[in-house]
Amino acid sequence: MNQPSRSILTSLRPNARLREVLRLALPAAFKHLLDVLQILVDMLMVGLLSVSALAAVGTSMQFIMVVNVVITLYVVGGNAVTARLIGARRRKRANALLFTLGAFALLLSLPFTAAGTLFADEFYRLLGTGEDVVHYGGVYFGALSIGFPLIFLDALFYNQLSAAGDTKSSLYIKLASAGVNALLDYLLIFGHWGLPAMGVAGAAYATVASYGLNIVLYLLLLRRRDARLHFLPLWNLPDLKRAVKVGSHAALERLITVSSFLLFIWVIASYGTAALAGYQVGLRVEGLAFMPGFGFAVAAMAIVGQQLGAKRPEEAYEGGLYSLKVAATFMGVFGLVMVIWPELFVRMFTHDPATVQQASLYLRLVGLSQVPLAVLFVLSNVLRGAGDTRTPLKINIAALWLLRVIPSYIAMKLGFGIIAVYIIMTVETFIKGFIFWKIFARRKWLKTKI
């Protein structure tokens, strides 16, 4: 027997609203932290093998970014549609959509699995890496590609449960699989407990096994009577079409964002190795500030979608606004710390004086923009939760190219220092945050039809 639909944020009392927002946001934020830590553990252990092995695993992240573009296609649209259905108390239809999206995700994963296992080394050659990196990369990414069906399903289950209002279960599942991943890394990479030393292939198999554990635990969870969602083996093609229609704009946005990001890195790399290393270290530190923003963005998407599905637009607006206030507070405090004591964080990663100086410069400037960055995180997800993915697409295309990439390129060509590039990036964040706020405050997104 399905659990009765539970409305999110039905009370307008501040304390009740805060509890509901934190209930959704904190588990999502900590799960994001575990995702980051799992990658760092992989990198640290593989780095003990050789520099080439580390470079191969690190470069694979660029390929994963492309894979995530496709995952966005069904994840964002599926979130918006499922949240509406849950809010409207149409749980059976949401369960059928979960089943249909699962089949769709598996179908999408197959070409990536085939391409990765057959042509992994060619992908690395296209990037111009050395033959030693090509060798390690072919072994690692070829083995990792076997697990793409699991990776596609894992993204689906996490996001669907989040849309239904359950982020805590995914945190517990991630805790278990991250621990298993670290243990298997140790055993399979170096060959302990009588197991053969598999090197980078062992790291890939450990990752695949951890995703396999995720899927097993998710399937067990979905069989529980008190689960927020269940598998209902019925085809729900109308809602699948709605989800893909909404998600197509988000996928295009992700693709353009990835392309712009790579070009921006190319501009920074032109300032030398220390500048590039400082930027990479700065991004890792800034990722700590992203955690609360990510968590509250997930909370906002679920709240907005469910309240609109329940025909309560005013509560959808208030839920999004409250999520923004709390996220801005958390990220603003962390941003202030980055401005005052950037070296404290940078030296956790490196003690090279030139890199410390460059990373600290980056952190001081981005620390000033953490509040508008919270606006971007939360309000872009508010719009996506409402089913409006066109607006974030248009804003990000225009802002990334007209306000960041092109001005940064011009500044570099005119001989301005790296600080000019970081100022341009910071100004772009403020302008984009202001635009999202104005769109949110006008409330037209509350009438989005999906």
Quick: pLDDT tens for 248-280. Answer: 998 998 888 888 877 887 888 788 767 777 776
| Averaged pLDDT of the chain | 87
- Report the pLDDT value the prediction gives residue 4, as an integer from 0 to 100: 42
Per-residue pLDDT, averaged over 232-239, amounts to 93
pLDDT band at 82 (very low <50, low <70, confident <90, very high): very high
Higher-scoring residue by pLDDT: 265, 34: 34
* Residue for token pair 């799992």: 38
* Mean pLDDT, rounded, for 356-373: 90
Q: What percent of the chain has pLDDT over 90?
A: 44
Position 7 scores a pLDDT of 47
Contact indicator for 396, 253 with CB cutoff of 8 Å? yes
pTM: predicted TM-score of the whole model, two decimal places: 0.83
pLDDT tens digit sequence for 102-119: 999 999 999 999 999 998
Helical ranges in 191-309 per DSSP H: 200-223, 237-269, 273-309
415 C-beta neighbours (distance < 10 Å), count: 7
Torsion angle in degrees (nearest 10) through CA of 87, 241, 173, 201: -170
Per DSSP, helices labelled H in 9-50 are: 14-47
- Percentage of residues of the chain with pLDDT beyond 70: 94
* Nearest in space to 70 (alpha carbons), one of 99, 110, 123: 110
Q: Could you tell me which residue, 132 or 164, shows the higher pLDDT? A: 164
What's the rounded mean pLDDT across residues 292-305? Answer: 85
What is the rounded distance in angstroms from the CA atom of residue 26 to the CA atom of residue 294?
Answer: 9
Contacts 24+ apart (CB under 8 A), 32-37: 32/290, 32/291, 32/294, 32/295, 33/291, 34/171, 34/174, 34/175, 34/178, 35/174, 36/287, 37/178
Confidence of residue 123 (pLDDT cuts 50, 70, 90): confident
- Residue 180 has a CB neighbour count (10 Å cut-off) of 16
Question: Residues 370-416: pLDDT tens digits?
Answer: 999 999 999 998 998 888 889 999 998 899 899 999 999 999 999 99
Among the ranges given (25-34, 201-210, 427-436), the one the predictor scored with the smallest mean pLDDT: 25-34
3-state helix, strand, coil in the chain (%, to 5): 85, 0, 15
* pLDDT value, residue 290: 77
Q: Rg for the chain (alpha carbons), in Å?
A: 22
pLDDT for the residue numbered 3: 44
DSSP state of 50: -
Q: Give the orientation angle of helix 390-398 with respect to helix 370-385, to 10 degrees.
A: 150
Q: What is the average pLDDT across 405-433?
A: 93
Confidence of residue 5 (pLDDT cuts 50, 70, 90): very low
pLDDT at position 6 over 50: no
Residue 128: predicted pLDDT: 66
**Mean pLDDT of the 232-241 span:** 94
Kindly report the number of other CB atoms within 10 A of residue 438's CB atom: 10
Cα(174)–Cα(156) distance, rounded to whole angstroms?
14
Helix axes 14-47, 51-87, angle to 10 degrees: 160
- Residues contacting 215, CB < 8 A, separation 6+: 150, 153, 154, 157
- Report the pLDDT value the prediction gives residue 262, as an integer from 0 to 100: 75
Token pair for 24: 């959704």
Res. 13: pLDDT tops 70: no
User: How high is the pLDDT of residue 408?
Assistant: 92
- The pLDDT score that the predictor gives to residue 355 is 78
